[in-house]
Amino acid sequence: MPQKLSAQILDALPWLDGPAEAVQKVLMPLLGANGHKDVKNMLKGRKLSAQILDALPWLDGPAETVQKALAPYLGAEGRKDVQDILNGTWFGHPLHPAIVMLPLGFWTTTMVLDLAGPEEAADLSLRLGVVGALAAAATGAAQWQDTWGKARRLGFLHASLNLSAAGIYTGSWMLRAQGARKTGVLLSSLGYGVGLFSAWLGGDLSYDLGIGVNRTAFAEPPSDWTEVLNESDLAENTPRRVVANGVPIMLLRRGGEIFAIAATCSHLGGPLDEGQLADETVTCPWHGSVFSLRDGTVLHGPATMPQPDFDVRVQGGRIAVRARAQ
């Protein structure tokens, strides 16, 4: 499995531990175990998003309708190359969280320039934010398409608010163009509030509900050889799910070789050992991500992160695996 850029940077910058520890110590009196409870509770926040979800179960209906409408484009039958671009498979990272910086950044600039800056620059920034919002909507829809339950409902609310913010900003754009500047600025301020609230809900989608999170991130594959199966129990072309150090692993014997990659799909946790095999790839049965059996690389999304892969050896009729050295 090729090493991710972030992992390479971490390896190259071990000295960061020192300043990071120093900052943690500075924050300790405020945010540590004995920190100020009121401040910590305020920063952690009571989960308003959970209350909203409970109060709006009817969102499931329209959310499902929109998913069905988008399915020909963003579902299993849609164009994989377009989906890979929107999901960020080429990027090795979900694209949506990066793209949302465009509207939020431009609209923050609009607000600052509205307070103290040239009107033309403020209006240009507003228009660029509207364009950025369209890109954010496309990448967000791709990521949301495979969600269900609470994540689907919260994602639908998040998207609705984002589109509302974009609509409000478009209204402000029109008003500014017609010379009604004060009303336009008021309207864009309202749009900014809606956009910020929506961004907060988007954060809950990731941090609370795990959307966009690598589902293998917390696996700790064994670094030493660990026996998992009798060699005689692994038939040709028939995947087997085994467990090493608590990590589910998919084993596959093919043409005299044994492949081993994590069995839990990095996208949303689908069982790869139940996936479809072709050449040296496996396709996740849940949403169709395609991974290389040889090194866990993502060949097609919606997954954006590779599968952990393993060295395999056979000794005394027993198959053993260990985490592949980078």
The span of 46-54, 63-71, 154-162, 283-291 binding ligand FES (CB under 6 A) equals: 283-291
Binding mask 219-258 for ligand FES (x = CB under 6 A): ----------------------------------------
With H, G, I as helix, E, B as strand and everything else as coil, classify residue 278.
strand
Q: How far is the CB of 277 from ligand FES (least distance, A)?
A: 15
Paired sense of beta strands 276-278 and 247-254, if any = unpaired
Binders of ligand FES among residues 257 to 276 (CB under 6 A) are: 265, 267-270
In this complex, which beta carbon is closest to ligand FES, that of residue 176 or of residue 287?
Answer: 287
Q: Which is nearer to ligand FES, 259 or 286 (CB)?
A: 286
Smallest distance, ligand FES to C-beta of residue 268, A: 4
Choose between 198 and 307: whose C-beta lies nearer to ligand FES. 307
Choose the stretch contacting ligand FES; rule: CB under 6 A; options: 137-145, 147-155, 219-227, 279-287. Answer: 279-287
Residue 281 CB, nearest approach to ligand FES (Å): 13
CA distance linking residue 281 with residue 266, whole number of Å: 15
Residue numbers 113-152 binding ligand FES by CB under 6 A: 146
CB closer to ligand FES, 146 vs 204:
146
CA distance between the termini of the chain: 7
Which residues make Cβ contacts (< 8 Å) with residue 208, sequence separation at least 6? Answer: 47, 49, 50
Scanning residues 286 to 325, which ones bind ligand FES (CB under 6 A)?
286-289, 302-303
Asked if 110 is part of the footprint of ligand FES (rule: CB under 6 A), the reply reads no
Of 185 and 305, the one with the shorter C-beta distance to ligand FES is 305
Query: In terms of Cα–Cα distance, which of 199, 217, 200 is closest to 268?
Result: 217
Specify whether the backbone of 310 is left (phi greater than 0), alpha (psi in -120 to 50) or beta.
Answer: beta
The conformational region for residue 75 under phi > 0 = left, psi -120 to 50 = alpha, else beta, is beta
Piece of the chain touching ligand FES by CB under 6 A; list 42-50, 239-247, 255-263, 285-293? 285-293
Q: Is the peptide bond before 306 cis (omega within 30 degrees of 0)?
A: no
From CA 192, how far away is CA 200, in angstroms rounded? Answer: 12
- Could you give the strand order of the β-sheet that contains 318-323, starting from the edge strand earlier in sequence? 226-230, 318-323, 310-315
Nearest alpha-carbon partner for 259 in 270, 268, 272: 272
Q: Give how many residues touch ligand FES by CB under 6 A.
A: 13
| Selection from 269, 151, 261, 281 nearest residue 216 by Cα | 269
- Contact residues for ligand FES, defined by CB under 6 A: 146, 265, 267-270, 284, 286-289, 302-303
